[in-house]
Structure 1
Amino acid sequence: MNPTEHEISFGPYTAVATARGGALRGLQHEGRDLVVGFGADGGIPDYRGVICAPWPNRLADGRYSFDGKDFKSTVNEEARGTALHGLVFGALWELQERTACSVRLGTRIEPGEAYPGRLDISVEYELRADGLRSTVHAENVGGDAAPYGVCPHPYLLAGAAPLDEWTVQIPATEFMEVSAERLLPAGMAGVEGHAFDFRTERVLGAVEIDHAFTGLIHNGDGLASVRAYDPSGTGVELEWDSAWPWLQIHTADKPAGPSRLGLAVEPMTCPPDAFNSGTDVVRLAPGESHEASWTVRASSR
């Protein structure tokens, strides 16, 4: 038995979480994959399923200032000169609790050159009748305040057909324009009349997206969701609440090798480069905590 792998099940659902990056390695409903998975050993391709904290997405040049002090993180997206997806995706998370249908993993961020605070971060994956509910909890266990943001990084699978043939619904009225070279923030725009307007479900086609959306549309229960359907009628849904005011969508386009293998759907507490803009950054004082959840489930027509 691999001690870094944790399989859980409930009803028609099974899932595998891994200590590597606290990631969701696989999720199935009646044997059908709902996310793009990866192997039990080695690296994690394309950050699939990892938890991105204490910032999501890109941080320009890996640099930012907080409370009058400058910090510098490793640039791990060298072509664009950014620090991508935070500090914990490469960590080996510890098992904190496990049942037949749930598992909780945790890790710690220590203060240093890249970050001012000491955070304990945990993720719980729990299978229920309505799908996989995941919750990220962060607590400042240090003596200094710290900036915080988070997002999950799953690539959803609606079915076996190519991504271009899926129909997609994205409940967002605005998106963040980005620079072509670095994909860093360059302004905001409305989706009205734009190729990114998926407020009404439609075929994705050849549209390429790697952008943050906001102006999210919630239902009467305060929930928003992205839905994707395969032409065969199978589908997948990711649902979140108001704790996540931003949403990154990526059509997983690659300049070389396998491309558009799934649809990355990433609720975010703050937008790209938020540690520099300050937009929606959570400030965690010593002893304070933050928690946010999302659910992935199978759907069908």
Structure 2
Amino acid sequence: MTGAEYGLRHGEYTAVIAARGAAVRELRHRGRDLVVPFPAGGPNPDHRGVVVAPWPNRIPDGKYTFGGVDYQVPVNEPGRQCALHGFTPELDWRLESRTESAVALSCAIEPTPGYPFALSITACYRLDGDGLHTTVTAANVGERTAPYGVCPHPYLLAGPAPLDEWSLEIPADSFLEVTPDRLLPVAVRPVEGHEYDFRAARVIGSTEIDHAFTDIVFDDDDDGDGDGDGDGQARVVVRDPGGTGVGMAWDRSCAWLQLYTGDTEPPLPTRPGLAVEPMSCPPDAFNTGTDLVRLEPGASHGASWCIFAA
């Protein structure tokens, strides 16, 4: 169930944020849906719009080693025997503050045998003339260094045409090859010459994607010195052949990007929208350590992104 909901409004944008999973249940521009919505008061299919933490994507068999200690978290994707999308999607987030155009929600991750770390996580949503801005901040309120990763999980909606007819642009030079059955990491491959090369906008067609991308191209940093450590942004843009579109921008806190064309089996609808998930670390980072945030006691980590009409 979605729990409490908070409606936001600014100019031509409106949004509805649900307490369960701090999910973006609706986002509209001039009355047009920018994300695939889901009904109020009911279940949330496909984790639509939730905040995912403390790990994005999958941990095979729910097993990982951190600091020389082996841990086991619950397997919640039995078909692939993986622990999927952390704990936060199933939590009811608390209201911290609210205005007409902004809301802040928080949740606590309490220590468990499989994740004996204590985190306080806040998601701040804000609408302005540029779209829906989100910042997620995690603070380690425990006494042990915690492994951590985060991502959003919206399904972008370019327009009324089928997803196959949308054009897509991905600012990434590499993708993560995965096993066909469990979608577990194999190796990072260049997109050059591959069906996943969307560096120049082109029609998606029948291409099926459920992969992470990296070597992402960010804008130059704001001070113009080219050192790459400023507030550079990367952007994915999806366009409908009818002329409408939607985009997502994110900052350098997320060096990975999961894209999913929503190819599912009944009763879920197939290819309802494009899941766009900027991630702070890749799948199975709890085991590989790749770009894993090691959150020291008292430290915090922030990540930001924005969804906008294009």
TM-score normalized by structure 2? 0.95
Residue identity in the other structure for 2:309: A
Aligned to 2:228: none
Aligned to 1:24: 24
Cα distance in 2 for partners of 1:5, 1:241 equals 27
Aligned to 1:109: 109
Pairs within 5 Å for 1:40-59: 40-59=40-59
CA deviation after TM superposition for structure 1 residue 117, in Å: 1.0
From 279, 283, 286, the counterpart of 1:272: 283
Cα distance in 2 for partners of 1:236, 1:42 equals 26
* Secondary structure of 1:89 counterpart: helix
Aligned to 2:93: 93
CA deviation after TM superposition for structure 1 residue 40, in Å: 1.1
Greater alpha carbon shift after TM alignment, 267-276 vs 68-77: 68-77
Cα distance in 2 for partners of 1:139, 1:21 equals 18
Aligned to 2:215: 215
In the alignment, structure 2 segments of 5+ residues that lack a partner are 222-231
Question: Once the two structures are superposed, what CA deviation does each residue of 1:163-190 show, in whole Å capped at 9, x if it has no partner?
Answer: 0000110000000000011000011110
Cα distance in 2 for partners of 1:224, 1:186 equals 25
* Secondary structure of 1:132 counterpart: strand
Pairs within 5 Å for 1:111-260: 111-221=111-221, 222-257=232-267, 258-260=269-271
Residues 3 and 92 in structure 2, CA contact (< 8 A), matched pair in contact too: no
Residues 116 and 145 in structure 1, CA contact (< 8 A), matched pair in contact too: no
Cα distance in 1 for partners of 2:75, 2:114 equals 11
* Secondary structure of 2:247 counterpart: strand
Residue identity in the other structure for 1:249: L
Cα distance in 1 for partners of 2:48, 2:5 equals 15
Cα distance in 1 for partners of 2:111, 2:64 equals 14
Aligned to 1:286: 297
Residues 147 and 286 in structure 2, CA contact (< 8 A), matched pair in contact too: yes
Residue identity in the other structure for 2:257: L
**Is 1:63 matched with 2:73?**
no
Residues 97 and 104 in structure 1, CA contact (< 8 A), matched pair in contact too: yes
Residue identity in the other structure for 1:78: P
Residues 95 and 106 in structure 1, CA contact (< 8 A), matched pair in contact too: yes
CA deviation after TM superposition for structure 1 residue 3, in Å: 6.6
Cα distance in 2 for partners of 1:85, 1:60 equals 12
Question: Once the two structures are superposed, what CA deviation does each residue of 1:219-261 show, in whole Å capped at 9, x if it has no partner?
Answer: 2242110000001100000001111000000000013342000
Residues 170 and 237 in structure 2, CA contact (< 8 A), matched pair in contact too: yes
Root-mean-square deviation (CA, aligned residues, Å) is 1.0
Moved over 3 A (4+): none
Residues 233 and 251 in structure 2, CA contact (< 8 A), matched pair in contact too: yes
CA deviation after TM superposition for structure 1 residue 17, in Å: 0.4
Aligned to 1:36: 36
Q: How many residues align?
A: 298
Cα distance in 2 for partners of 1:242, 1:145 equals 22
Residue identity in the other structure for 1:213: F
CA deviation after TM superposition for structure 1 residue 68, in Å: 2.1
Residue identity in the other structure for 1:100: E
Question: Once the two structures are superposed, what CA deviation does each residue of 1:54-78 show, in whole Å capped at 9, x if it has no partner?
Answer: 0000011011111122211110100
Cα distance in 1 for partners of 2:9, 2:72 equals 41
Q: Quick one: structure 1 residues 94 and 66, their matched pair in 2 at CA, closer, same or farther if it must change by over 3 Å?
A: same
Cα distance in 1 for partners of 2:243, 2:147 equals 42
TM-score normalized by structure 1? 0.97
CA deviation after TM superposition for structure 1 residue 37, in Å: 0.9
Residue identity in the other structure for 1:252: G
CA deviation after TM superposition for structure 1 residue 218, in Å: 1.3
Identity of aligned residues (%): 55
Residues 168 and 203 in structure 1, CA contact (< 8 A), matched pair in contact too: yes
Residue identity in the other structure for 1:103: V
Residues 176 and 187 in structure 1, CA contact (< 8 A), matched pair in contact too: yes
